[in-house]
Amino acid sequence: MEKPQPPSDLWQKLDEARAQLPVQREPPKNSFSISDYAAKYGIARATAGDQVRILHRRGLLEVAGMVGNKKFYRLV
């Protein structure tokens, strides 16, 4: 038995399909990540995460969007 072969234009079809995905690679404007916050204030990332989450719960920050699994925040 012969192994099934992919179509000759497989990669072209995949490129066309990927072009339709809503992939966002740039962070939203006027936003920052927890890593950015940690670097700005010279604190550990875990501490920065705690502080950002507190500010978010208090309504001072909102989630501006995500790039991959990284959240970005902005002032309300």
User: Would you kindly state where each structural domain of the chain is located, as residue ranges?
Assistant: 24-75
Q: What is the pLDDT of residues 32-53, one digit of tens each?
A: 999 999 999 999 999 999 999 9
In words, the CATH class of domain 24-75 is mainly alpha
% the chain with pLDDT above 70: 97
Rounded to 5 degrees, φ, ψ at 2 are -90, 140
CB 35 within 8 A of CB 25: no
Residue 7 has pLDDT above 70, yes or no: yes
Output the pTM of the full model: 0.68
d(C-alpha 56, C-alpha 64), whole Å: 11
Residue of 8 and 71 predicted with greater confidence: 71
